[in-house]
Structure 1
Amino acid sequence: MSDIKLHPSLDNGLSPVASNFTGGTLQCLCTANKVEVTISAQTLHNHACGCSKCWKPAGATFAVIAVAPREKVSVTAPADKLAIVDEHAAIQRHACTECSAHLYGRIGNKDHAFYGLDFVHTELSPQAGWSAPGFAAFVSSIIETGTPPQEMKAIRARLRSIGVEPYDCLSPDLMDVLATQVAKLRGVVQPK
């Protein structure tokens, strides 16, 4: 099963999380004049993602995405190299215009349940200690990007073998957050 390649940060097992980790930087893949994004907090809800929108390093089947509070994420070196990949997407993914690596994604819709959280690719960080992926989301979507359907059972087994539970949506806790936000917007549940 270990011959199944998921993502470089998953294939050799999950890296340990540093208990006192307070953040670091992300850097694009350019050899010079790298875009740098500083995250001044530990990340939350790290996960493998099989959707077709998330950036994946070369050869990876899944993306690995975490979130951090928006106010803890800032571009610290050259912001003019970043561009939004799809202006119409719910998550405005900011990528380097030279190497195409996605550094962070931001939600602009204040009514979205994840507004205030930025999506980040900690595999682009030279620092160790970031939160480890806790689940895999949109696993079936890797079929849409070329994975043969007959490989799905083995891929789900491989994810479970490294401690990453596969889902075809988000984790149950995050799906509850999304549903709660919809209920609040409809007036079914009162905001706390």
Structure 2
Amino acid sequence: MSVRLLHPLIQNGLHKGDSNHAGGILACKCTDRPVKVKVSTGIAHNHACGCTKCWKPDGAAFSVVAVAPSESVSVAENGDKLAVVDPSALIQRHACKECGTHMYGPVERDHAFKGLSFIHPELFDNGNWPQPGFAAFVSSVIEAGRRSLGDGWHPRETEGCGLDPYDCLSPALMDYLATWTAKKNGILQ
């Protein structure tokens, strides 16, 4: 399949939402018995992600993903349809076994992100969630075999949509990860 979209919600300008969004219900793409997951708090670090693990809409090179505290994320309906995509992964992505939509992904191992769950805000029952703030893992789009999205477009052109591109997470999140690691190793207090 030829990928032509960044993501439907950023392709033609960023989704504009409310930075004070208080959560809601995420729903998978099934028309019969959709999985529903309740997020009872706001989300943080919303971004476009080009990694090869995140769920993406058909034809999209990037996902839109954010985090919420895991204690604020719960399965509300049809949890029997969920399965963990890769039990060995840091992010335990719970996906619908029927439609494949990733619903939530808690981090449970000893890690700086332990206690957070990754979610896809576009699955909310309302469109008021905060807009993405950066693009992460842009080179992974190439790594996945997509040199361009057509007409010479390159993944770093997320800048044209208002998203700074990084081959990792944002600088603030990378500093957070480095600080957590240094504290864990006794180098910082």
TM-score bucket (shorter structure): over 0.9
Q: TM-score, normalised by structure 2?
A: 0.92
Q: CA RMSD in A?
A: 1.7
Q: TM-score, normalised by structure 1?
A: 0.91
1:180–1:153 Cα change, 3 Å: farther
What code does the residue aligned with 1:122 have? P
The 5 A counterparts of 1:111-122 are 111-122=110-121
Q: CA deviation at 1:161?
A: 1.8
Contiguous gaps of at least 5 residues in structure 2: none
SS at 2:10's partner residue?
Answer: helix
SS at 1:179's partner residue?
Answer: helix
> In structure 1, what is the equivalent of residue 142 of structure 2?
143
> In structure 1, what is the equivalent of residue 68 of structure 2?
68
> In structure 1, what is the equivalent of residue 125 of structure 2?
126
Is the CA contact (8 Å cut-off) linking 1:15 and 1:129 kept in structure 2?
Answer: no
Residues of 2 paired with 1:17 and 1:128: CA distance?
7
Residues of 2 paired with 1:52 and 1:23: CA distance?
26
1:22–1:168 Cα change, 3 Å: same
Count of aligned pairs: 185
The 5 A counterparts of 1:30-45 are 30-45=30-45
Residues of 2 paired with 1:189 and 1:149: CA distance?
42
Contiguous gaps of at least 5 residues in structure 1: none
Is the CA contact (8 Å cut-off) linking 2:28 and 2:123 kept in structure 1?
Answer: yes
| 2:178 aligned with 1:168 | no
Is the CA contact (8 Å cut-off) linking 1:29 and 1:99 kept in structure 2?
Answer: yes
Identity of aligned residues (%): 55
Residues of 2 paired with 1:51 and 1:78: CA distance?
28
SS at 1:178's partner residue?
Answer: helix
What code does the residue aligned with 2:26 have? L
Q: CA deviation at 1:6?
A: 0.2
> In structure 2, what is the equivalent of residue 183 of structure 1?
182
